């Protein structure tokens, strides 16, 4: 396994230390004599674990007490519905900033629940974040939604937009815990664990308390942020094993320099690849404008800007022989891709 370098975007690579800890605890969690997978979610054992992981999140992101930390299921796409179901009822309309495929999909899902306006136009390709002065924002919107890092397109924000008092909501599925940011600039952020902080099964939502108690009557209970908060993320049986894995990754981050170190490593690793691409005399091509290049995932082509299929297939084949796996891009995007987790 030491010769394998996994560039999967999600499920993504986990730290080896986390695997060692999980192996040790798998059949005897915290000395209980049983696995966490067969432990009651109402037990003191799990309630303690749930609180510990929320505390780690608060420490890493400096989350104030007027924000709730929620552990839900359904992935990022579940929250594409969960966000409007919980927030759009105030005015019935929301603004979506379109910067890539995932923000388009989020907006399309939200349209099922109210009026969705594109604050920036949909495009054939996405290579930057439109200047904030060009955004068409509605002061009556219930919220403004952004995708902080577009996993497929490789576009990442380098600023937190000022939405003039309208709550800002961010999809941070693929870059949460990769950098320090001011959580108080957001009404809510969410991220599925499997891209950056764990494995599939749990999605974390951090929401300001004043945005609770607004869920639509049709909102399913398992997506209702207010019910989840009142029940401390134990409304029903949570994905305890996935939450434990996430917790162990978060503790690993805390032990290894916290978010400042994660950001330093993300810049270092991504810069190495971007520099190589930029110095290849056009043999490799990265389409995203330099300012907005993602530090988490790098889409690129081999050959001309639209790629050379034969060369790219050869690249994948030769890379796998060297132990570099899961480099082929998303099925909705023909680019190759390098994905950087924390480890």
Q: Which residues are catalytic?
A: 102, 171, 195
Give me Rg for the CA atoms of the chain.
20
Yes or no: say if 107 and 145 are a contact pair by the CB < 8 Å rule: yes
Q: How far apart are CA 98 and CA 101, in angstroms?
A: 8
Taking the C-alpha atoms of residue 187 and residue 196, their distance in angstroms, rounded to an integer, is: 21
Which one, of 149, 141, 104, 108, lies nearest residue 122 by Cα? 104
Quick check: helix, strand or coil at residue 169? strand
The H-assigned helical ranges of 26-153 are 44-61, 75-87, 101-110
Contact 111, 136 (CB under 8 A): no
Calpha distance 303→298 (Å, rounded) = 16
Angle at 53 between CA 259 and CA 156, to 5 degrees: 35
Report the distance separating Cα 75 and Cα 145, nearest Å: 17
Beta strand 67-72 with 203-208: parallel, antiparallel or unpaired? antiparallel
Which has the closest alpha carbon to 250: 87, 7, 68, 52? 52
In whole angstroms, give the CA distance from residue 259 to residue 214: 32
Q: For residue 95, which of 32, 42, 137, 48 has the smallest C-alpha distance?
A: 137
Q: Of 294, 260, 298, give the one whose Cα is nearest residue 277.
A: 298
């Amino acid at each position: 396994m030491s010769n394998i370098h996994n560039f999967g975007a999600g499920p993504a690579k986990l730290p080896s230390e986390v695997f060692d800890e999980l192996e040790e605890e798998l059949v005897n969690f915290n000395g209980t004599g049983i696995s966490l997978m067969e432990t009651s979610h109402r037990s003191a054992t799990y309630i303690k674990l749930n609180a510990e992981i929320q505390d780690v999140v608060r420490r890493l992101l400096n989350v104030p007490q007027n924000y709730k930390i929620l552990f839900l299921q359904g992935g990022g796409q579940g929250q594409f519905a969960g966000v409007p179901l919980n927030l759009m009822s105030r005015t019935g309309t929301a603004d979506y900033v379109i910067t890539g495929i995932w923000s388009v999909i989020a907006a399309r899902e939200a349209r099922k629940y109210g009026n969705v306006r594109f604050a920036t136009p949909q495009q054939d390709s996405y290579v930057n974040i439109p200047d904030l002065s060009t955004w068409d924002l509605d002061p009556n919107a219930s919220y403004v939604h952004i995708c902080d890092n577009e996993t497929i397109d490789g576009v990442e924000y380098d600023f937190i937009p000022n939405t003039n008092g309208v709550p800002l909501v961010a999809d941070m599925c693929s870059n949460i815990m990769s950098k320090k940011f001011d959580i108080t600039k957001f009404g809510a952020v969410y991220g599925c664990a499997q891209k950056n902080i764990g494995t599939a099964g749990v999605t974390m939502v951090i929401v300001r308390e004043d945005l609770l108690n607004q869920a639509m009557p049709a909102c399913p209970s398992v997506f209702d942020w207010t019910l989840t908060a009142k029940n401390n993320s134990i409304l029903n049986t949570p994905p305890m094993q996935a939450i434990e894995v996430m917790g162990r990754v978060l503790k690993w981050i805390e032990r290894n320099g916290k978010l400042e170190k994660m950001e330093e490593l993300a810049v270092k690793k991504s810069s190495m690849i971007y520099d190589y691409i930029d110095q290849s005399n056009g043999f490799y091509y990265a389409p995203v404008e330099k300012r907005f290049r993602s530090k988490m995932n790098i889409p690129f082509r081999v050959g001309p800007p639209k790629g050379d299929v034969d060369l790219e297939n050869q690249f994948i084949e030769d890379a796998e022989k060297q132990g570099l796996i899961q480099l082929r891009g998303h099925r909705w995007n023909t680019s190759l891709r390098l994905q950087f987790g924390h480890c």
